Amino acid sequence: MKRVGIVGLGAIGRQVCRALDEGIGGLTLCGATARDRDKGEAFLRTLASKPPFLTLDELIEASDLVVEASTQAHLEEIAPRTLARGRDLVVLSCGGLLGRGDWVTLAGKHGARILVPSGAIAGLDAVKGARVGAITSVTMETRKPPRGLAGAPWIVEREIDLDAIKEETLIFEGPATEACRAFPANVNVLAALSLAGVGPERTRIRIHAVPGLTRNQHRITVEGEFGSLRVEIENVPSENPRTGKLSYLSTIALLRDLGAPLRVGT
């Protein structure tokens, strides 16, 4: 039985905890940690297995696999400490992986793996297959309600009044390298796409704010020697408007695959 620890008890972390508590073959929830200890302990007491609230170091020591469901900033602390202990790490704030080849090297040195769920998009299996050949371009268009972009560094630094947006507005256009710094909580889907495909420098995105939109929309276009790929998805937001429900559903699916005797897809 593989022991799983959860870092972060927000919209995604709580759902992953519930899924493990209800039962995923070959896995057991050994504990969790979060910024707010009181709220974290209160949530964990609602689970049937009553897993303990632990410090980060205690959690890493108790786990075989750690699920990061926190933030890019927190990942800077979580990743090296987890990988140096030889623990596998599931990364949801995968924008924080861009440019971190040192973490990949660290994982290899200690026999650990970094696992990235598909998150709130689809088609990564096809992109990974296409990458074996030649890919000429990867672009993504994202549309979100304005409140879903609140707090992003790009919005704050430019003092963009999201409440003043009354029609669809292009907020950002550029490469994944820049977008993941400008919108760290919004474009983990873009980071996953760039890691699966041609890299963050060659993966481009346009982000639109759309008043009245009730679902987060993503459109991916890939061109290459394999042909053309177009994927469109509309995500129902979770309780956190910046995160779609598919983000935690895909994480649960990844965990189920770890112990499954049959795995479908690349």
**Residue 74 appears among annotated catalytic residues:** no
CA 76, 81, 82: angle at the middle one, nearest 5?
105
Find the catalytic residue in 74, 110, 208, 218: 218
**Cα distance between residue 128 and residue 137, in whole Å:** 14
Could you report how far apart the first and last alpha carbons of the chain are, in Å? Answer: 25
3-state DSSP: the chain helix, strand, coil percent, rounded to 5? Answer: 40, 25, 35
Decide: 190 and 222 in contact? Cβ < 8 Å.
Answer: no
DSSP string, 32-67: EE-S-HHHHHHHHTTSTT-PPB--HHHHHHH-SEEE
Question: What pairs with residue 135 in β-bridges?
Answer: 224
The SS3 assignment for 133 reads coil
Catalytic sites, residue numbers = 218
